[in-house]
Amino acid sequence: MMPDHHGEESIKTDLERDELVGRIGNLYTKKGSSPPTQLRGAVRHWLGLSVQEIVDAIEQHFAEHRRLYVSGSGDGFFYMVEAAIRRAWQAKHPTRDHIDDEPNRRRHRCDVDQRQSAGWGSHDAGTPQDARPSPDHRDRSHHLEE
């Protein structure tokens, strides 16, 4: 079997994966829990982090949630461990904000004019300037009757 090469710091061989599974299993045992059954499969997907970064993320998770790991199986809260690994990966490899990828475009004067005149008819439609209602178009019919 050919070893995977995903980066200088990531896990490169099956031997390193087995060592990491053993280290994590020992962490669970020290906390009084058995290692999760899906640990070996999950470790295969934890690329981009060094062994020490993974161990540090799990130790931090255990410190933050020490009351959850007093005895029993580690399967119940393994999703939280995987979330801690994702957060560590995202901290190391932050995603780019795609909104900042677009340049800041300035609006043209004609864009503003079209939006302002949209409710009053188009200048190009042949509507005379005087025929359009003024912004101050109060109902003045009651003044005419007096």
Q: Hey, where are the domains in the chain?
A: 14-95
Compute mean pLDDT per 10 residues along the chain, 146 residues long, and list them: 46 84 94 92 89 94 88 89 93 73 59 55 52 56 52
d(C-alpha 98, C-alpha 95), whole Å: 9
73: which residues sit within 8 A by CB, 6+ positions away?
Answer: 33, 34, 36
pTM of the shown model: 0.56
d(C-alpha 42, C-alpha 21), whole Å: 10
Q: Contacts by 91-99 with C-beta closer than 8 Å and gap 24+?
A: 92/48, 92/49, 92/53, 93/48
d(C-alpha 98, C-alpha 100), whole Å: 5
pLDDT of residue 95: 79
User: Tokens representing 130?
Assistant: 């005087």
